[in-house]
Every structure is written in structure tokens, then in C-alpha cells.
Amino acid sequence: MVAVAPNGSQYLPSRGSVTNTVYLHPKARYALWERIEVWGGPLLAASAVPLVDPVSTRLDGGTPTHALGGRSDRRYLGTELDFGLRARFEVRDLWVQAGVQAGVLFPGPAMRDASGRTDAPIWGTWFRAELRY
């Protein structure tokens, strides 16, 4: 063990991403007016199989661990709360839709590091626009 990833590990199919994930994402939508809509809902995510990172597992002496160095016996990845606002307009022959979406992820037990801690909530937001003519 030299604390160096094995040669060829960069070619693993997952490339370090989460795979084999199942989730439930119920949403509620409400139209404020004819052209403006708000929506939101939770996203509950779990891994179908234990998260195991080959490089971290090797560095930990063969004990199954995930990329953060934590045990891979937990499968619940976390809860994300999503919210959005979307508006649609038509100007002559141009149809415009624009919106903003935001979400906050609360990492679950499967994302604990080697000392048993999870990251703080992770926020994200983005703007989306669509034009059609």
C-alpha cells in the first residue's frame, strides 16, 4: 500500500459518480394565474446497492468503504427539497418560458465520512429560459 490509486482505476465505469440509485420525487404544482406556476416537493434518494469505491476500499485495507471514506453499509443518500417558479408568455409569434429553480440537499447516512459526519446542507439554484418561434 503506497496510498496511490491502482493503475487503471480512472477507467472505472462510474467515474466516481453515484450509480444504481432509486428515488421518489412527488411534486405539487399550483397555477397562480394562467401563465405563472409554482411547484415544489421532496426528493428522497437511496442506493439500490451499497456504495463501494474500489480505490477507497483498497486504501482502507479491503474494508468496503465509499468515496468519502465512510462505511458502505447504509443506503439512504438523503433528502432534497426542490422549489420552482415558471412563467409562460407569447409575444407575436414568439413563445417564451422562463423560470428559476432552487433546491437544498440534506445528505443522509450513506454519505457519512470516516468519522461519521455528513456535509452541511448543499444549496443549488439555476435559471432556465426557452424560446420558440
Range of the domain at 72: 20-83+104-124
Is residue 77 in a domain? yes
Is residue 1 in a domain? no
Q: How many CB atoms within 10 Å of residue 129?
A: 8
Residue 41 confidence class, pLDDT cut points 50, 70, 90: very high
Mean of all residue pLDDT scores within the chain: 85
114 pLDDT above the threshold of 70: yes
Whether 47 contacts 20, CB under 8 Å: yes
> What Cα–Cα distance (Å) separates residue 21 from each residue in 24, 110, 115?
10, 12, 24
Is residue 6 in a domain? no
pLDDT computed for residue 78 by the predictor: 93
pTM (whole model) above 0.85: no
Alpha carbon distance 79, 109 (integer Å): 11
Is residue 69 in a domain? yes
Residue 73 confidence class, pLDDT cut points 50, 70, 90: confident
Is residue 8 in a domain? no
Question: How many structural domains compose the chain?
Answer: 1
pLDDT computed for residue 58 by the predictor: 79
